[in-house]
């Protein structure tokens, strides 16, 4: 076969391997991961040695705008990490005998193809037999020819040993990576039930995290932007809280166990079209997640500033329709350090009734972290599902609730449900 024919055949083998992985149960229903795998494979095969950039993947594959900023939108990193885990899981299971191994090295946006067996199958005519067949007769043998023959045998043996060592090295590296990156465990039934509306469609939900408006500079002092006193000053809108960051990490872990992806966007970049056409998970309260001011969410538990008294100006959760045993409002402890906080969790239809919205918002960033953890941990999720009335009902009902959060040294250590309202 010609060199061109070999290259074409190898390309077809690699693409067949990609489709083998795409067609597996592990990637079934995850359209974004399948698209990413095909994209990286074609780039690797058609442009060997050329690195692909995060910006390139975001704009070409995920259709992000030209002003895409990877510091604010982690979609490519999240999806690449999930695909890396899926590949490890695939080759640890159903793909353990596939002819090609696919791998995404850490810290890179590239796909690497490894042939499963670098040592070719034994030829019907072994090397020793070839030498014997070609050996000259006794009268033609000379010392020079014997030396040449010895050299050939030694070099052949060294080549075989080198190939065997290389195969062993590659297999050890692959096994080490699979051990270091185990597949995420399956989500408990309560979590699967709670998040079912967000994973039953192929589209990945948007996680919208808060980014409040600030004035000033970090070096000289920042404060929340005040339209009355800060008019004309530039707005800093690229900060978010520690709780929001940890919360998104927790959500990514849960959705990985549900075999579904997430897309991440800061609140100020959310458009009404995004809100109408996607499932949304809001992380952070309306005081900082400004897009929540334009999108209807909770009705019974709403965020409002205290308008009088010693806590005037502080953020609180108002219970619009208090039921027996519930407080009229909830507010975090005054001053620092915070020892108690409150958060609202709500599941409701979106602006488009076919879409869903989950609100996870605390009075402070610590409360927001606790809200995310409450719907991401199996024990609290199971308790919440039971109180809502599922999974006996077969489908989760829209709801709103308030959790009280105990805080120690800036870390939420306990969250208890103190009010729950079902929506009809």
Query: Residues 270-320: pLDDT tens digits?
Result: 888 888 889 999 999 887 776 777 777 899 999 999 999 999 989 999 999
Residues of the chain with pLDDT under 50: 1-4, 118-157, 160-161, 163-164, 166-167, 178-179
Backbone torsions φ then ψ of 391, nearest 5 degrees:
-85, 15
Q: CB-based contacts of 287: which residues, under 8 Å, 6+ apart? A: 212, 303, 315
**String of DSSP letters for 145-158:** HHHHHHHHHHHHHH
Planar angle of CA 347, 348, 350, nearest 5 degrees: 130
For residue 50, give both structure tokens: 């050329």
Which pLDDT belongs to residue 7?
62
- Cβ atoms 102, 111 nearer than 8 A: yes
Query: Within 10 A of 191 (CB to CB), how many other CB atoms are there?
Result: 21
Which pLDDT value is given to residue 292? Answer: 75
Residue 43 burial (C-beta neighbours within 10 Å; 0-12, 13-18, 19+): buried
% of the chain with per-residue pLDDT over 70: 80
- Residue closest to 104 by CA, chosen among 181, 194, 16: 181
Rounded distance between C-alpha atoms, residue 354 and residue 357, angstroms? 10
Reported pTM: 0.58
Distance CA 226, CA 210 (A): 17
pLDDT of residue 131: 33
Cβ count within 10 A of residue 398: 16
Nearest Cα residue to 29 out of 187, 244, 200, 239: 200
Q: Are 28 and 94 in contact (CB under 8 A)?
A: no
Strands 329-330 and 340-349: unpaired
Gap between the Cα atoms of 148 and 333, Å rounded: 88
User: What is the rounded CA–CA span in Å between residue 406 and residue 417?
Assistant: 12
**Contact call for residues 57 and 39 (beta carbons, < 8 A):** yes
Burial of 91 per CB tally in 10 Å (0-12, 13-18, 19+): buried
Neighbours of 224 (CB within 10 A): 12
Q: Rounded to 5, what percent of the chain is helix, strand, coil?
A: 40, 20, 40
- 59: which 2 tokens? 């704009």
| pLDDT at residue 186 in the model | 64
Tokens of 160: 């075989």
Q: Give Cα separations from 268 to 55, 263, 293, 384 (angstroms).
A: 20, 15, 11, 31
Helix (H) or strand (E) holding 201: none
Cβ proximity of 127 and 63 under 8 Å: no
The two structure tokens encoding residue 140 = 């033609």
**How confident is the model at residue 152, as a pLDDT?**
43
Q: What are phi and psi of 398, to 5 degrees?
A: -55, 145
The pLDDT, as a whole number, for residue 126 is 38
Sheet strands side by side (includes 340-349): 263-266, 206-209, 280-283, 356-362, 340-349, 399-408, 411-422
SS3 call for 215: strand
Q: What pLDDT, on a 0 to 100 scale, did the predictor assign at position 252?
A: 94
Please give the pLDDT value at position 105. Answer: 85
Lookup result for tokens 């597996």: 24
> Beta strands 340-349 and 399-408: pairing type?
antiparallel
Other Cβ atoms closer than 10 A to 396: 19
Cβ neighbours, 10 Å, residue 419: 21
Could you tell me whether strands 206-209 and 263-266 are parallel, antiparallel, or unpaired per DSSP bridges? parallel
Tokens encoding 44:
């690797």
Q: Within a 10 A sphere around the Cβ of 339, how many other Cβ atoms?
A: 13
Residue 236 DSSP symbol? B
With H, G, I as helix, E, B as strand and everything else as coil, classify residue 13.
helix
Beta-bridge partner residues of 349: 356
């Amino acid at each position: 076969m010609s060199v061109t024919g070999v290259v074409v055949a190898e390309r077809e083998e690699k693409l067949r391997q990609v489709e083998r992985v795409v067609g597996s149960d592990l990637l079934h229903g995850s359209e974004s991961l399948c698209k990413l795998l095909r994209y990286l494979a074609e780039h690797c095969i058609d442009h060997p040695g050329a690195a692909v950039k995060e910006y390139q993947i975001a704009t070409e594959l995920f259709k992000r705008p030209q002003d895409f900023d990877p510091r604010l939108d982690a979609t490519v990193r999240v999806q690449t990490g999930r695909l890396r885990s899926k590949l490890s899981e695939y080759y640890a299971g159903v793909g353990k005998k596939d002819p090609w191994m696919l791998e995404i090295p850490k810290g890179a946006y590239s796909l690497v193809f490894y042939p499963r067996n670098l040592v070719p199958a034994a030829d019907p005519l072994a090397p020793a037999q070839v030498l014997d067949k070609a050996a000259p007769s006794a009268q033609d043998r000379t010392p020079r020819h014997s030396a040449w023959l010895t050299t050939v045998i030694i070099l052949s043996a060294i080549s075989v040993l080198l190939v065997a060592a290389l195969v062993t090295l590659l297999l050890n590296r692959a096994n080490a990576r699979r051990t270091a990156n185990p597949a995420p465990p399956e989500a408990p039934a309560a979590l699967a039930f709670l998040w079912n509306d967000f994973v039953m469609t192929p589209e990945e939900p948007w996680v919208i995290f808060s980014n409040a408006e600030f004035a000033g500079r970090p070096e000289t002092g920042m404060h929340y932007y005040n339209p009355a006193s800060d008019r004309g000053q530039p707005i800093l809108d690229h900060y978010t809280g520690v709780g929001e960051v940890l919360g998104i990490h927790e959500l990514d872990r849960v959705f990985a166990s549900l075999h579904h992806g997430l897309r991440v966007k800061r609140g100020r970049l959310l458009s009404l079209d995004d809100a109408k056409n996607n499932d949304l998970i809001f992380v952070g309260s309306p005081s900082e997640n400004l897009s929540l001011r334009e999108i209807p969410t909770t009705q019974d538990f709403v965020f409002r500033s205290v308008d009088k008294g010693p806590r005037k100006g502080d953020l609180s959760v108002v219970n619009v329709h208090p039921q027996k045993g519930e407080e009229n409002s909830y507010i975090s402890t005054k001053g620092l350090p915070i020892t108690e906080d409150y958060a609202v969790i709500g599941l409701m239809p979106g602006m488009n009734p076919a879409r869903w919205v989950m609100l996870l918002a605390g009075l402070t960033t610590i409360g927001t972290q606790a809200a995310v953890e409450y719907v991401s941990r199996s024990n609290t999720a199971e308790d919440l599902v039971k109180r809502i009335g599922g999974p006996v009902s077969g489908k989760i009902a829209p709801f709103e609730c308030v959790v009280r959060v105990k805080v120690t040294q800036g870390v939420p250590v306990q969250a208890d449900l103190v009010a729950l309202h079902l929506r009809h």
